[in-house]
A = this chain, B = another copy of it.
Amino acid sequence: MNHWMSIALMEAAEGMDRGEGGPFGAVIVKDGEVIARAHNEVLKTNDPTAHAEILAIRKASEALGTFDLSGCVLYASCYPCPMCMGAILWARIPTVCYGASMEDAAAGGFDDAHFYAMIRNPHTALDLRPAGTEKAKKLFERWLAKEDRRLY
Contacts and interface: CB of A to CB of B under 8 A. Distances in A.
Contacts of A141: 108
Interface string A67-103: 1110000010111011111111111111111111100
Given A46-B62, A48-B90, A99-B131, A104 B137 contact: yes
Interface residues of A, number: 89
A19 B144 CA distance: 13
Contact of A47 (B1, B67, B110, B122): B67
Copies in the complex: 2
Contacts of A21: 152
A151 to B, nearest CB: 7
A137 to B, nearest CB: 5
17 contacts: A5-B131, A9-B135, A42-B67, A43-B150, A45-B62, A47-B61, A48-B68, A75-B131, A78-B136, A83-B83, A95-B126, A96-B126, A96-B129, A98-B129, A101-B133, A107-B140, A109-B144
